[in-house]
């Protein structure tokens, strides 16, 4: 009879120990899982940023090629950015008058 009581107490202690170990493992695993989710989300955002930057880079390379090889493109930039005109042309500048309320 004493042996059964001792066995029950030993089984109870082992069960409590297993439950405590399970809780500790769950807490650490849960924290690591949350960190993993956060890092995966950040990776996705960084991949999107890379795609945007690669597209911007392609556009800049095309613009650079146009600057190197297309005289009409350079002329258009000079007219637009610097306000340059060809000899004999007349430049008109329009002034906007703000509306009164």
Q: What is the mean pLDDT of residues 22-40?
A: 81
Contact criterion met (CB below 8 Å) for 85 and 79: yes
Q: What is the pLDDT of residue 49?
A: 98
pLDDT of 27 > 80? The answer is: no
pLDDT of residue 91: 81
What's 87's DSSP letter? T
pLDDT digits (tens, 9 = 90+) for 53-68: 999 999 999 999 999 9
Rounded to two decimals, the pTM is 0.51
- Give domain limits for the chain: 2-81
Helical H segments across the chain, by residue range = 2-69, 71-82
């Amino acid at each position: 009879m004493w042996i059964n009581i001792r066995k029950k107490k030993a089984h109870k202690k082992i069960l409590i120990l297993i439950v405590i170990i399970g809780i500790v493992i769950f807490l650490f695993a849960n924290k690591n899982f949350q960190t993993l989710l956060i890092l995966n989300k950040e990776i996705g955002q960084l991949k999107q940023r890379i795609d945007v930057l690669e597209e911007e880079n392609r556009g800049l390379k095309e613009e650079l090629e146009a600057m190197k090889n297309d005289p009409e493109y350079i002329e258009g930039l000079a007219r637009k950015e610097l306000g340059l005109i060809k000899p004999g042309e007349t430049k008109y500048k329009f002034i906007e008058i703000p509306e009164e309320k």
